[in-house]
Amino acid sequence: MAKSTSTESLGVLPLSRDRILQVALQQADAEGLAALSMRKLAQALGVKAMSLYNHVANKDDMIDGMVELVVAEIALPSLTVDWQTAMRQRATSAHAVLLRHSWATLALMSRVNVGPAMLRYVDATLGCLVEAGFSYPLADYAWNAMDSHIYGFTLQALNFPFEADEYAQAAQAYVAMVPPERYPYLHRLTQQVMSGEHTGLHDFEFGLNLLLAGLETLRRESAPPAEP
């Protein structure tokens, strides 16, 4: 009796959309999105490049699917805690996930994302805010403002030219470029970083706290007056 040569009998997982996306995600995490190609992906999967198109329409479709996988990792805001706690958890989760997938922030910002994971994520976010008393327009402004902070801070963290433990040394290297007679306030700040009086580190929580406090003020101001 002839032995089976199917992929299952050889211990090789059958090709599927999910397997393609998972391996593509791993490659993008390791090498960046620009280095990802259908040819390299097919080699990693042990298949011919043309066989990928039975499961993904093209590279754009594949990237859309990869973004969906990333979004699915972000914690949804809970309705069982107060809205600020829920949105803080959402923000810190999103920031951590996007740091883990360093290519994903730009892909997320520059594409129309309408997959189930993204729609569930946005709907849960709006639900958290609306149930807390935000109007739909204010909820829309609120979550977009928070996402702008998340995306911007993440991109800065990923691309900033110095590591945290290099700030004081960098301040020392650049202090001559900010003479006190011309830039007195920037010079003083640089001196504080050099001496360790101030770390100079960018603080994700600082900006998030400002946003949440400001949004709470808007929520209260926009709330309908209580009935007598």
Per-residue pLDDT of the chain (228 residues; tens, 9 = 90+): 444 443 433 345 689 999 999 999 999 999 999 999 999 999 999 999 999 999 999 999 999 999 999 999 999 999 899 999 999 999 999 999 999 999 999 999 999 888 999 999 999 999 999 999 999 999 999 999 999 999 999 999 999 887 878 888 888 888 999 999 999 999 999 999 999 898 888 899 999 999 999 999 999 998 776 666
Whether residue 168 contacts residue 182, with contact meaning beta carbons closer than 8 Å, is answered with no
What single-letter amino acid sits at 192?
Answer: Q
Domains, in order of start, for the chain? 17-56 (1.10.10.60), 69-222 (1.10.357.10)
Specify the DSSP class assigned to residue 135: -
pLDDT in tens, 71-96: 999 999 998 999 999 999 999 999 99
Tell me how crowded residue 142 is: count the other CB atoms within 10 A of its CB. 25
Helix axes 204-222, 83-100, angle to 10 degrees: 150
